[in-house]
Structure 1
Amino acid sequence: MDKKLKGIFSGYTGHASEIIPILQDIQDVYGYLPEHALEEVAGFTGVSKTHVYGVATFYAQFRFKPKGRKHIMVCTGTACHVSGAEQVLDALERHLGIGEGDVTEDMEYSLESVGCIGCCSLAPCAMVNDEVVSRIKPSRVSKIFPKKS
C-alpha cells in the first residue's frame, strides 16, 4: 500500500459505512479511483472488491480514469441541448480524438457531458476546470481548445 492510501485510511476505522467518504478522499488525492486503491479499500473495510466497485459505479461523482490538465464538461441541459450542445460535443470528440469520458494521450484534455452547469443564458457552454466557456460554436472548437503540436 502506498503512502497516500495509508494517509487516507488513517482517518477512518475501516467500517463498511465509510466506503463513500474513503472513495471521495481517494479521488481528491489521485484525481480518479485507481484499481489498486479499490482493492485496498475492500481489504481495509472487509468487504468484497465487487461491493466496493458497485458502490463506486453507482455514483456519478466517481471517475475511473484520470482527468486531463484541462477537464472539459460540456453542458447538455435543456438550454444547451436546444442550442447545439450535442454538435459541440461531437466537434470536441473529433478535434481531440477522444470519446466522452476519455483523456487525450498527452493528458492535456479530458471530456465529459454533464446535465447542467447553471449558465443557461450562455448556452451552449462548457466548464474547463473552473472557468465557463460560453456560446461555443462547433466551428470554433479547434481555436478554443488548441492541441499541442
Structure 2
Amino acid sequence: MGLEDEAMELPKRAQKLEWNLNSILNLITLIGMIGGGGWIWANTTRDIEELQTWRTSVEQTQKDRLAESRERDGRTDERFRGLEAEVRKIDNLTYRVTITEQSTATITSAIKDLQTLLNQQSGDLKVVREILQRIEASQRDGNQLRR
C-alpha cells in the first residue's frame, strides 16, 4: 500500500479563498495606512514648500529692512556731520562774542577816560576864557585911560 496508493490518490485541491473578518480588517487597515501615508506625504510636502516660501519672504524683508536701516544711518551720519559744523560755528561765535565783550569793555573804559579828559579841558578852557576876558578887560581899561 505504500507507493501505489499514494500514486493513485487525487491531487490535493487548492484551498478555497475565504474572506474572514480578520482578513477584511487587515486589508482595510493596509489600504488606510497607504492612503494616510500618501495624504501625510502630500500635506508635509505642501507645508515644507509653504515654509520655504515664508522663509524666503522673511529673508527678503530682513534684507530690505537692513538696507533701509543702513540708508537711515547714512542720512543720520550726514545730519550729525552738518550739526558738528554748526556747533563749531557756534563755538566760534562764542569766542567772537567774548572777544567783542572784551573790546566793548576796553572801548567803554577809553570813552570814560576821554570824557574825564574832556571835562578837565572844559574846565581849563573856562579858566583860559576868564583869563582872556580879564586880559581884554584890562587892555580896554588901559586903552581908555590912555585916551
- TM-score, normalised with respect to structure 1: 0.15
Q: Which has the higher strand share?
A: 1
The structure with the largest alpha-carbon Rg is 2
Q: Which has the higher helix share?
A: 2
Larger RCO, structures 1/2 (Cα 8 Å, 6+ apart): 1
- TM-score, normalised with respect to structure 2: 0.15
